[in-house]
């Protein structure tokens, strides 16, 4: 579990350094296969970073991720 968490945190750092629109495009593609991973990546970011990425996504995708982030806490 620790190694998984560390890898997710590492991905959070990577995606938070990208342009929000680019990160949103990639994470949106990942959502179809692994919503939980995408929620974990975004949860590992500061709210100011994750909000920009979520805002750049399609509303339906952002809503699905937000629900997962909220209920997994």
**What is the rounded distance in angstroms from the CA atom of residue 21 to the CA atom of residue 7?**
22
Q: What is the mean pLDDT of the chain?
A: 94
Kindly indicate the confidence band of residue 23, based on its pLDDT and cuts at 50, 70 and 90: very high
- pTM summary value: 0.91
Q: What is the dihedral of CA 45, 47, 51, 52, to 10 degrees?
A: -70
pLDDT digits (tens, 9 = 90+) for 4-20: 889 999 999 999 999 99
């Amino acid at each position: 579990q620790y190694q998984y968490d560390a890898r997710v945190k590492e991905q959070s750092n990577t995606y938070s350094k990208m342009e929000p629109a680019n990160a949103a495009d990639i994470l949106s593609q990942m959502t179809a296969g692994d919503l939980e991973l995408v929620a974990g990546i975004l949860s590992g970011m500061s709210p100011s970073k994750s909000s920009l990425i979520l805002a750049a996504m399609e509303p339906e995708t952002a809503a699905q991720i937000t629900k997962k982030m909220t209920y997994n806490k």
